[in-house]
């Protein structure tokens, strides 16, 4: 597999990875985390990494949420979750998604998804830099691969 060494120095040993399809939704916030994820998506695409962002939840194994959860977005997130084939996993990226961040609950904002649902991957930061997001995804993906039983 070819890497462009955008995030790792030449010669670095990369963790084992398996394919991961991610559907990203921005549920509120300032969209800063969403912009960082766009950079992540482009870098992963360029590196032909087995982690890719897909355009529909029907193809996704991981639902990745950024932003504080708006009241109007809650049913949309629920629908996306229901549309995913199993097994499905949840990741929350950015302070807003983890604990609400700058956006305190009010009539239009429910707050952080982290307080309402258990996420497999939780990454705080405002916003977390793309390097940190990639490293979290890759090492989490590697842990998932390592925890699978190996063929004898």
Verify binding: residue 136, ligand SF4, rule CB under 6 A.
no
Contact (CB, 8 A) for 23 and 29: no
Distance CA 149, CA 119 (A): 23
Verify binding: residue 101, ligand SF4, rule CB under 6 A.
yes
Which of 57, 70, 94, 111 touches ligand SF4 by CB under 6 A?
Answer: 94
Give the range of 79-87, 88-96, 112-120, 141-149 binding ligand SF4 by CB under 6 A: 88-96
Q: Between the CA of residue 37 and those of 24, 106, 145, what are the distances in Å?
A: 8, 27, 23
Contact (CB, 8 A) for 31 and 64: no
In the complex, what is the shortest distance from the CB of residue 94 to ligand SF4, in angstroms, rounded to a whole number? 3
Number of residues that bind ligand SF4 (CB under 6 A): 13
Distance CA 93, CA 125 (A): 8
Residues 5-64 that bind ligand SF4 (CB under 6 A): 29-30, 32-33
Element (H, E) at 80: helix 74-83
Residues at the site binding ligand SF4, with contacts judged by CB under 6 A = 29-30, 32-33, 66-67, 94-96, 101-102, 126-127
């Amino acid at each position: 597999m070819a890497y462009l060494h955008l995030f790792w120095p030449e010669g670095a040993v990369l963790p084992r990875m398996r394919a991961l399809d991610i559907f990203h939704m921005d549920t509120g916030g300032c969209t800063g985390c969403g912009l960082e994820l766009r950079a992540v998506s482009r870098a992963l695409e360029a590196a032909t990494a087995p982690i890719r962002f897909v355009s529909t939840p029907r193809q996704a194994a991981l639902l990745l949420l950024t932003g504080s959860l708006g009241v109007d977005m809650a049913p949309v997130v629920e629908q996306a979750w229901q549309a995913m084939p199993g097994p499905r996993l949840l990741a929350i990226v950015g302070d807003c998604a983890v604990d609400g961040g700058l956006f305190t609950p009010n009539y239009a904002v429910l707050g952080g998804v982290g307080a309402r649902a258990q996420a497999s991957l939780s990454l705080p930061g405002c916003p977390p830099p793309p390097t940190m997001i990639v490293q979290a995804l890759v090492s989490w993906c590697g842990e998932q691969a390592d925890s699978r039983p190996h063929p004898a």
